Every structure is written in C-alpha cells, then in structure tokens.
Amino acid sequence: MLATNGIPTAEELAPRIPPAERLKKGPVAIIECFQKIPCNPCSTACKTGAIEKFEDINDLPSVDLEKCTGCGLCISKCPGLAIFVVDETYSEMEAAVSLPFEFLPLPAEGEEVDVLDRSGKTVGRGKVIRVRNGKYEDRTPVVTVAVPKELSMVVRNIRVGGDRR
C-alpha cells in the first residue's frame, strides 16, 4: 500500500514499532522511514547514538531502543517528517505523542486539537502539552499531544481549530 497510496500497512509498520516491554520504560523514537534515499540528519542529530550511524547514506535509519531516551531532537531534523516520539508512560490512561508540525497556526499548550491518523482521518481529540519551536527546531516545530493510550501508534498528526471531519 505504501507504494500506491503513501500509507504504510500494519505489516510495513510492524518492524518499526517498539515492543510493549520497551514502551513501558518511557519515551522512545519511532522512525517511519521506508525509502532508501540519501538522507541522515536523524543520525547526526541523535546525541545518545541511539539512531545508529549509517554505513551507506542511503540506508534506512535504525533505532537502538535501549540507547534512545526519547528526547526528540531527531524529530525536527527529519526532512521527511517521519519521526515521532511516543511515551506510553505519560499517564495511566494517556500517552504523549511528539510529532513534527509545519502548519499555521501553531497550537497553544493546553489547546484541544483533532488527532489524525496516517491518512489524515480524524481519530479523536487530544490536548497539546508542549510546543517546541526554538532555534534548534529550525522552522519545524515539535508538538506533543496527550492522546488516549490506545491511539499512541495511530496518531501521527493534528488539526488545530476544532473538529472538521
């Protein structure tokens, strides 16, 4: 499906999703990059070495889940907007999902937003808990939104300004 509509199937996503045991340890980067193209900013942005160095500039990124702290420095550096940080330990009922957001207006902390799946379909509502938009983000703000825990691997974007299904 990825080749025909740009949306990965569950089978294509499976190798990218951390195991439940790792998700219980705290925030972790999830890289949904599927194309071998010359690109490595995620690896160079990673201060812990969790995104392993590439042997070839065309390699797909790989995350060492034990080294990843979920800091999110890699999110805004990915030109393909393919990196997310998921924290299923945020609360008992909610997960925190950090994602790149290149639209206006930027949401405000505390704002309720529509949460969207990979196809852009509204799948629920979430609350913005953080917006990073400093010099390091270089015009790709990182928005962290609290979502129902069962949506942590579904939510990959937000819509600001209310429900517009």
| Domain membership flag for residue 16 | yes
| Domain membership flag for residue 164 | no
| Domain membership flag for residue 73 | yes
Provide the pLDDT for residue 165: 47
Instruction: Summarize the confidence of residues 19-23 as an average pLDDT.
Output: 96
Q: What is the pLDDT of residues 65-88, one digit of tens each?
A: 999 999 999 999 999 999 999 999
Could you tell me the residue range of the domain that residue 113 belongs to? Answer: 2-159
| Domain membership flag for residue 52 | yes
Cα gap 162→123, rounded to integer Å? 13
| Domain membership flag for residue 25 | yes
Give the phi and the psi of residue 115 in degrees, each rounded to 5: -110, 140
The number of distinct structural domains making up the chain is 1
Distances (CA, A) of 130 to 2, 11, 96, 138: 30, 31, 10, 17
| Domain membership flag for residue 146 | yes
pLDDT above 90 covers what percent of the chain? Answer: 83
| Domain membership flag for residue 165 | no
Asked which of 7-11, 63-67, 72-76, 99-103 is least confident by mean pLDDT, the reply is 7-11
The pTM assigned to this predicted structure is 0.93
